[in-house]
Amino acid sequence: MSSPSWTDILDPSHKEKLKTYTEELFHFNKKFPLYSRRQNPDFCWKMILDSYLAGQILLKDSAHPMIADIGSGAGFPGIILAVLDPQREFWLFEPNKKKATFLEYICWKTNLKNVHIKNKRIQEEERLLSCAVSKAFLSLEQRLTVSQSAFQSGAYYYHLQSLGWEKQWQKAPSSTRKMWSVAAIQKYNYPPLLSKRVLLRAVFQ
């Protein structure tokens, strides 16, 4: 598998782990759906690039030593964040057993010692979170509603979103809107992503 030229923006220390991660994604997705099989081969690289660009912004904005990835799926953005910052701890919440097993395998394959896989729904977590992130877990208003019981007061919850996020947020129940303060941190873009993206930070009241 050849990597697109835009992977040149990756730090050399990150390339090998992300290359292995992508190869394993392609391989295992043929056996069970980690992501849509209808997507073209560049899809994984775009997902990684999205997580990589947003992850750098997030890690500068947050000083939290532990960050949870809620609805991690195939590992976006949790695996990429763990590669970017090996000094922090990352909890990846994924209730699907097959996907959670894949994440465990990836951590072993890439020697990521700073990742803990949580094979359960976020609502089942007993420890209140102070910092989390999501990329494609439900819609913005849905994830803020269903997960709010897992956060402590003042917690940060980051979201990788398209620029139309405000329309999603307007659909949230009034009770959810009272509990969260949502703002855009920074827009980001790179040509293969085609459209601009934005990193949001929601603060739990």
Lowest mean pLDDT among 13-22, 103-112, 113-122: 13-22
Q: What pLDDT does 121 receive?
A: 96
Task: Supply the pLDDT for residue 3.
Answer: 44
* Nearest CA-CA partner of 184 in 167, 196, 204, 202: 202
Whole-prediction pTM value?
0.93
DSSP 136-167: SSS-HHHHHHHHGGGEEEEEEEEEEEETTHHH
* 31-204 fold: Rossmann fold (3.40.50)
